[in-house]
Amino acid sequence: MAAAPAGGVRLLHHPRPWLRSLRRPLSTLAASSIQQSEESTITATEPKPATTSSNTYYPKRGQTLELVCESLAYKGKGLCKVADTGFIVMCDRALPGERFVGRVTRKKDNYAEVKKLKTISPHWDYVEAPCEFASHCGGCKTQDLLYEAQVRSKEQQVRELIVHVGKFSDKDPEYDGIMKPIVPCDIQFHYRNKMEFSFGTKQWVPAELLQQESDDTNESALGLHVPGFFDKVMNINKCLLQSEPANKVLAAIQDFWREPELGLSPYDVHSHRGFLKHLMLRSGSNVETGQPELMVNFVTSSYKPELLKPLIEKITAFPDVVSIMNNVNTSVGNTSVGEEEYTLFGKSTITESLRGLNFQISANSFFQTNTHQVCNKKIRTAPCTMQAEVLYKLIEDCACLKGDGSEIVLDLFCGTGTIGLTLAKRAKHVYGFEIVEQAIADARRNANLNGICNATFVQGDLNKIGENFGEYFPKPDLVITDPNRPGMHMKLIKFLLKLKAARIIYVSCNPATCARDLDYLCHGVPERNIQGCYKLKSIQPVDMFPHTPHIECVCLLELL
């Protein structure tokens, strides 16, 4: 069996002493409730809620409480306890050490949710958020929390979920070797290569700013949805997560699209009338020159290119704009993927390089969003790195492929094939499966682009696999699974336990469902007579998305 890569992450980053700071434990109750909410989409037995000494106390809806946030729980919610009871409440945008007044908005089986009304004293590690929209936008909830504290909290969350949901004992002598320190991100702003904005019929303005605003608050909006509302859009002129070229184009569109003579109407999600639905901006780079490339994608309710012509003329003045697309979505849903796609200017793809390969990215392709290259200014000889490179290097290290072209790799939820293609040069053959038709087309195109002939990509729903699924490929030596947020369906878990590949690399964007699936693969599901057959060798958290609650993990399992 292959050994877990020893100290692989330290080759990429210098040691950070603050990551070894004392970690405050989350409660078992919080982890249990997280598991229950995430398991609702999976056909699996849910654990019973944990019991606490606070069962005799239960706050009423609408009740106000003075609370102190103890730590951050999954999804970035602040975990608090009602004084003298130990009863747990969760509050969005509450940060560790913050004392505040909150109103109970929702009651769960074993905890309650509150809305913060007023801060009495600020949280630990406070910094001033550089973005004017940070207090209300759902994208960067922790901009006012020192970055070192952000990653420390994320590592803590993974540790607690692995213990309480994954049922791996932190008393095990091997635990410290299994649980790796989180890999921070070298750059905390302008790292996203894709942002999606929505058009709305009316700007949403925070209540505390209503008196300061003029009559233009009734104007239409282009920006981001208010968290929890599909029909409220906050006007955004600049987003600190996307590239500067993308922000310049966004500002130009904001200044121009409302002109009455253009006849452009925002889509109304209630009446289902209007033309403009979404604006998607994708940033890439020319693989030959290294110059920025920008794709602008207008999502509209119908195909009327003549209406978009003035906007096209406006933004093609920017030299970085090399592609303007139009996705036509006639449905009433809020998706940005169109039934039809048209190229209005330039080419239909932009390019990006990763692990020595070049990738063509279409408007609706999935591609790792943190590919911003940054040079380490403190070490002049250090090469430029991107967090996606760090992630894929960790995956490659965990794969432990011999390099003699003798091993079969099964790439599940392969997307556009980026992981499988970066490993293909060391494998005999890579078999990738993905439900999205466009992603499979992109994977095949990228294989051809890089001259890779030992990769096969197949469209299929991995949540609906049949008994004959294993007949589509030889028995793999390595399985890579990179599911979306709900994790893996029990059908797929049972298949993997029957398949018994020597190694599994589980790449996760959701540590809660990741911990649950690791539990099934290693410990089985006794109540269903399902036996686990894997040993968890390592789990490596990676901060791909600073200032957000999202956490990526790379987990290595080996067959017992």
Place of tokens 């999502």: 299
Integer Cα distance of 460 and 437 in angstroms = 9
Q: What is the dihedral of CA 118, 122, 123, 127, to 10 degrees?
A: 120
Tell me how far the alpha carbon of residue 474 is from its chain's centroid: 32
Of the candidates 272, 288, 186, 168, the one whose C-alpha atom is nearest the C-alpha of residue 230 is 272
Residue 65 CB contacts under 8 Å (≥ 6 apart), including other chains: 59, 82, 89, 101, 102, 103, 104, 114
What's the Cα-to-Cα distance from 146 to each of 32, 139, 151, 470, rounded to whole Å? 28, 16, 9, 48
Q: What letter represents residue 153's amino acid?
A: S
Integer Cα distance of 242 and 238 in angstroms = 9
Q: Confirm whether residue 144 is marked as ligand binding.
A: no
Place of tokens 């878990």: 493
3-state secondary structure of 271: coil
Q: Is 509 a catalytic residue?
A: yes
Catalytic one among 509, 514, 533, 553? 509
Give 323's strand partners.
Answer: 295, 346
Tell me how far the alpha carbon of residue 281 is from its chain's centroid: 17
DSSP string, 300-331: ESS--HHHHHHHHHHHTTSTTEEEEEEEE--S
Residue 9 CB contacts under 8 Å (≥ 6 apart), including other chains: 180, 181, 183, 394, 540
Compute the C-alpha angle 100/106/109, nearest 5°: 115
Of the candidates 218, 258, 259, 252, the one whose C-alpha atom is nearest the C-alpha of residue 238 is 252
Compute the C-alpha angle 342/345/346, nearest 5°: 110
Give 103's strand partners.
Answer: 64, 115
Q: Confirm whether residue 368 is marked as ligand binding.
A: yes
Q: What letter represents residue 325's amino acid?
A: M
Please enumerate, by residue number, every residue annotated as part of a binding site for S-adenosyl-L-methionine. Answer: 368, 413, 434, 482
Return the active site residues. 509
- Give the residue ranges of the annotated binding site: 368, 413, 434, 482
